[in-house]
Amino acid sequence: MVHPRKEDEGAKLRISSVYGSAKATQEADTVLILQSDGKRKFVDVRKNRFDGTLGHVPLYFDRKSGRYSETSPDVNAPQRTSIPTTRKERSPTVRTS
């Protein structure tokens, strides 16, 4: 866990917002940022070395359990899933003997 730098009010956090980002984010396989837009919270996937999928997942708070989940605890609310925004294309590895 790494804490973010102070940013402007209402600005979304980026990888460069991570305190000591040069070393911390470079060494990490995955960078997840918990964010809030004032109305709701979401997890922002900013780095993913496993398959390159980036995006955000909305979080809903369940008052009964005191937990966050990616689906709304309200039965009548629309169900949401993760929203990929980009996928990095990996270049093929060329090996020479």
Domain of 31, in residue numbers: 15-87
Number of structural domains, the chain?
Answer: 1
pLDDT confidence bin for 88, thresholds 50/70/90 = low
Is 3 a member of any domain? no
Is 46 a member of any domain? yes
In SS3 terms, 14-71 reads as CHHHECCHHHHHHHCCEEEEEEECCCCEEEEEEEECCCCEEEEEEEEEECCCCEEECC
Is the full-model pTM beyond 0.85?
A: no
Is 1 a member of any domain? no
Contacts of 17 (CB under 8 A, 6+ apart): 4, 5, 7, 33
**30 has a pLDDT exceeding 60:** yes
CA distance 79 to 57: 12
Residue 54: what pLDDT? 92
pLDDT confidence bin for 84, thresholds 50/70/90 = low
**What's at 34, amino acid-wise?**
L
